[in-house]
Amino acid sequence: MNDSSSGPADSVRSHEDVLLERAADKGPLGKAAIYARLSGPGWLQGAITLGGGSLAGALYLGVIMGFNMMWLQPVAMILGVIMLSAISYVALSTGQRPFETLKKNISPVLAWAWLIATMMANIVWCLPQFSLGTAAVQQNLIPALDSGTGKVIIAVVMLIVTSTVVWFYNSGSRGIRIFELILKAMVGVVVLSFFGVVIAMSLEGVLDWGKIFAGFVPNLSYLFQPVPELADSAAQTGDFADWWTAKIAAIQKDRIITAFATAVGINMTFLLPYSMLRKGWGVKHRGLAIFDLSIGLIVPFVLATGCVVIAAASQFHGSYADVMSMVQAGDDKAKEVGDYYGFVDQRIAETGEAEKQLIAAAADPASPDHSQATEKRQELRDALPEADRKVAAMLAGRDNFALAGTLEPLVGKTVAQTLFGVGVLGMAISTIIILMLINGFAFCELIGTPDNQTMHRIGSFIPAIGVLGPFYWAKAAPALAVPTSVIGGAMLPIAYLSFLLLMNSRHALGASMPTGARRVWWNALMIFATGVATFGSIWSLSSRGTIGMVALALLGVMLLLGVVGFWRKQSDEHPVQS
C-alpha cells in the first residue's frame, strides 16, 4: 500500500535510504538522533492512546489505587509495544497489507473479526472524544461557551479541525509529513501540560517521591485485595467490613482493567502497519520501526499517564473531605455526590430486605411509595455510621475538572484550568483524528479498494458521527460502550495471537522468519504479552454477565481457529519467498 504520489515520494525515500545507511555505522546516540528525524507512525500510535480513555483510566487508577499501581500502565504499554513491534516486523518483511496477510496465512474469520471490531471501536469511541473536548473548552478554557449554543459551536469547530488534518494525510507524501508534525505537536502539548502540573505540585512539596517510586515495583496482591489505605478504612466499618472489602476489590478490578485496556486497543493494532506501508517503509526500516514505537508511544504515554496518576493519587486517594463538603452543601448535581449516594444506598440495602425494598422504591419514580421512600431513604443516609460514609466518599469518582480545581491553590486558577483544559482538549482532538484515519484504512479493506484515496477519505469521515457525542453520549453510552469494549477486549488477544503465529509462519514470512536465538527471544516476549492480554480479557469478561460469557466463548473459538489455520497453512508446500 504505497503512496501514490510520484517524484517527491521517491526523493524522500532516497533521502531516508541515505540516512538509514548512515545510522547503520553510528553508535547508539548517533543512531537514535537519525531515527528521531525519521520517526512518524509511532507518534500516530501515541496520539490515539493518549485519549479520553487513557486519561480516565489514569485518573481513576490514582483515586482508587494511589501510588501502589504506578507500574501497571508502563508494563501494559511495554507489552503492547512488543506486539506492535512484531506486527511492524511482519508488515515490513512481507510488504503486504496485514489484513490480506492474516486472511491468507492464518484465518479469514480472524481477519474479518479484527476488521469489524476495529471499525466498531473507531465509530463508538469517537462519541466520547467529542464530548470530552467540548467539556474541556466549556469548563476549563472558555466558560462563556457553557451553553447549548456554545456546545454546538465547539463541536462543529472540532469537527472542522479534525477533518482538515485528516484531509492532509491523503494529499500525498507532503501531506503525510504535515500530518505527522501536527500529531507530534499535539502529543507534545498533552505531555507537557500534565508534566507541568506535576512539576508545580512537586515544587510546592506536596508529593512523596519515595512512595511514588515504590509504586513502580509490582505488587500483584493488589489485583485481588484492597490497597492498604482503603483496607484500613473498610476495617473500621465493623460488621460491614467484609462487604466493603469485597466492594473495594471489585472497584479496583474495574479500574485496573480500564487502565490496562486503554494502553493498547484493538484499533491500534490495525493502524500501525498501514501507516508504515503508506510511508513506503520496508525491510530496511524494521529497526527504525521499533525505535519509533519506543519514543512515539512508550515515552509520551508513560509520562502523561504517570503524571495524571501522581496528581490524582496525591489529591484524592484515601480522601473524603472534598466529597463530604459537597454533600453538606447539597450539590446533588455533582458526579462525586451522585457516586457517594450510590455507594451509601448500596450499603443501606445490605442491612436487610426491608431496606433493600425501600431503596428500590426511592430509586423508581413510578413506584407508588416513591415520595415516602425518598424521605425515609434520606433519614437512613443521615443515620449511616460515619465510618461507612467516609469509605463511600473515598470511592466516589472524580474527573479531570475536579483535579484541575484542586491545583488552583498551587498554581492559580487560570494556570490550573488552562493546563488541564489544553491537555484534555489535545487528547480529544488527536484521538478523533487517528480514529478517523484508522477507519479509512479499515473501510478500504472492507470494500476491497485498499489504495483508493477517495474511499479512504470517505471511510475516514464515518466516525465523524461522533460530533453528536456532546449531545447524546450520556444516553448512548450504556447501549454502545459495554458491548464495544467487550468485543474489543476479546479481540485484542486474538490480534496478538494472530501476529504471534505469523512471526512463526514460514508460509507468510519465508526467509524473513526469525531463526535461532532471535526466534526464541521474539517468542518468549510475544507469548508472555499474549498470555497477559488473554488473562486480562478472561478476568474482565468473566464479570460481564451473559455478554461476557458469549465473548469468552467467542474468544475460545477464535483462538482455536487461529491455531488450526496456522498448522494447516504451515503444511502448504509453497511458502512465501522473501
Q: Write down the domain spans for the chain.
A: 39-320+404-570, 321-399
pLDDT, tens digit (0-9, with 9 covering 90-100), for 353-375: 988 999 999 888 888 888 899 99
pLDDT at 4 over 50: no
Determine the pLDDT at residue 32: 65
Confidence label for 552 from pLDDT (cuts 50, 70 and 90): confident
Distances in whole angstroms, Cα of residue 21 to Cα of each of 17, 24, 58, 233: 6, 5, 40, 61
CATH topology of domain 39-320+404-570: Hydantoin permease (1.10.4160)
Q: For residue 528, how many other CB atoms are within 10 A of its CB?
A: 12
Determine the pLDDT at residue 486: 61
Q: Of the candidates 226, 237, 232, 234, which has an alpha carbon nearest to the alpha carbon of residue 384?
A: 237
**Averaged over 228-247, what is the pLDDT?**
93
pLDDT at 1 over 50: no
Name residue, grid cell 515520494.
Answer: 9
**Averaged over 217-225, what is the pLDDT?**
90
pLDDT, tens digit (0-9, with 9 covering 90-100), for 509-537: 888 888 899 999 999 999 999 888 888 88
pLDDT at 312 over 90: no
* DSSP string over 386-397: HHHHHHHHHHS-
Distance from chain centroid for Cα 238 = 38
* CA atoms of 529 and 209, how far apart (whole Å): 30
Query: Which set of grid coordinates corresponds to residue 520?
Result: 526464541
Report whether 348 contacts 384 (CB < 8 A): yes
Report whether 90 contacts 105 (CB < 8 A): no
SS3 for 253-284, per residue?
HHHHHHHHHCCCCHHHHHHHHHHHHHCCCCHH
What sign does the dihedral 570-576-577-578 (CA atoms) show? negative
pLDDT at 50 over 80: no
Query: Which set of grid coordinates corresponds to residue 128?
Result: 466520547
DSSP state of 295: I
pLDDT at 6 over 70: no
Beta-carbon contacts of residue 443 (< 8 Å; ≥ 6 apart): 119, 455, 456, 458, 459, 460, 462
Query: Which set of grid coordinates corresponds to residue 485?
Result: 469494549
Mean pLDDT of the chain: 81
Determine the pLDDT at residue 174: 67
Residue 577 parent element (H or E): none
Beta-carbon contacts of residue 55 (< 8 Å; ≥ 6 apart): 132, 305, 308, 400, 424, 427
Q: Of the candidates 88, 86, 576, which has an alpha carbon nearest to the alpha carbon of residue 285?
A: 88
Confidence label for 179 from pLDDT (cuts 50, 70 and 90): low
Report whether 577 contacts 510 (CB < 8 A): yes
Lowest mean pLDDT among 6-10, 125-129, 419-423: 6-10
